[in-house]
Amino acid sequence: MQGRNDTISRRAVLAGASGALVTLASGAHAQSFPSGPVKIVMQVGPGSSPDIAGRVLAEKLTKIWGHQVLVINQPGGAGAVAIKAVSAAVPDGHTLYLSVATNFIALPELQQNFPVDVLRDFVPIGYVGDHPMLIAVNNNLGVSTLAEFISLAKKRKGELVIAAGNRGSILHLTGEWLRAVTGIDVTLVHYQGAAQAVTDILGGRVHGMIDAVAAMRGTIEGGQIKPLAVATKQRLHNFPNIPTVAETIPGFEAVGWLALMAPPKTPAPIAKKISDDLRTALSDPELHKRFDELGTYIHLMTVDELTAFIRDQVQTWRPIIAETAKTLR
């Protein structure tokens, strides 16, 4: 019996020693990270607002790390293609995932048997920034406020057409929420990218558009389209004359966002090193300025705050997705 206990004790000591060696090795790897190029995978296509923000961030991280940081675009499957690629990557920090809000909010509802849950399985690194949703209309529509648009939509029941991004995206869900809370009957049409939607609103083929601020910034500043409201809690500091949706519809807040994640099983020391360096990058005044110009608004969060924020967002959007689930699937 004593011999058996001695064997168990030796195994426990060896297991503890092994765990300690793994921890030490991970810590050493973290100190030398990165040892080569780093890939940031995104589900969006080149030229989109999140893609541009990702490339600006990659430039800054390249300077911090002294190794090239590359943005890899892998669109498809509402994020499923990119998620599968990153989940299968070596968890050493050299492949990261810059995820959009849809992956946490809509994908689990739309593809319930999907084997990977980004929030559950991936390792959170940090929150990158907001992409506020903006509601704008063609100048010829003859409305200047969101209240006037809602009134017109009720008078012209079923006639107005609104561009609202990809099916299942935050843009689409924002449109569905707007329809639900106002009772307006408008048609939401879906686009793979903002460029064609902007072309169609300028050409009068659609009456309005819901997209990130960055997607419409040029046409807004040029007076080519009329911004009605931005779906943030407070007015944007660089667009103070654009009202919030909540000023007309209390409690309405719809914001896209970007979060940096690492593949499952990425060691904690490496994840912390990347998280610390991300915070350094996002604290840089030059990066703040460039992000502001892009319509990406930085909010620093701890990893715990990020996780809590995502869970809160899931609860916020779940009723909207439930209402539109049959059309989304």
Residues 200-226: pLDDT tens digits? 999 999 999 999 888 888 899 999 999
| Angle, vertex CA 85, rays to CA 97 and CA 87, nearest 5 | 70
Alpha carbons within 13 A on the beta-carbon side of 294: 23
β-pair partners for 41: 72, 97
Whole-number mean pLDDT of the chain? 88
**Position 262 confidence tier, pLDDT thresholds 50, 70, 90:** very high
Where do the CATH 3.40.190.150 domains begin and end in the chain? 29-130+257-328
Where do the CATH 3.40.190.10 domains begin and end in the chain? 132-247
In one-letter notation, the amino acid at residue 61 is L
Write out pLDDT tens, residues 154-196: 999 999 999 998 888 889 999 999 999 999 999 999 987 788 8
Q: Is the confidence at residue 327, as pLDDT, over 70? A: no
- Whether 170 contacts 176, CB under 8 Å: no
CB atoms inside a 10 Å sphere around CB 191 = 20
**Position 20 confidence tier, pLDDT thresholds 50, 70, 90:** very low
Q: Is the confidence at residue 276, as pLDDT, over 60? A: yes
Q: Is the confidence at residue 22, as pLDDT, over 50? A: no
- Whether 77 contacts 106, CB under 8 Å: no
DSSP state at residue 245: G
Give me the pLDDT at residue 78, please: 74
The helix, strand and coil proportions of the chain, stated in percent and rounded to the nearest 5, come to 50, 20, 30
Mean pLDDT of 17-39: 67
Mean pLDDT of 67-82: 90
The span from the CA of 271 to the CA of 282, in Å, is 16
Q: Is the confidence at residue 272, as pLDDT, over 60? A: yes
Q: Is the confidence at residue 19, as pLDDT, over 50? A: no
Phi, psi of 37 (to 5 degrees): -60, 150
**Position 14 confidence tier, pLDDT thresholds 50, 70, 90:** low
Class of domain 132-247: alpha beta
Helix segments in 32-71, DSSP class H: 49-65
Which CATH code fits 29-130+257-328? 3.40.190.150
Nearest alpha-carbon partner for 165 in 139, 194, 187, 186: 194
Mean pLDDT of 118-142: 94
Distances (CA, A) of 229 to 17, 86, 155, 325: 59, 36, 20, 26
The pTM score is 0.82
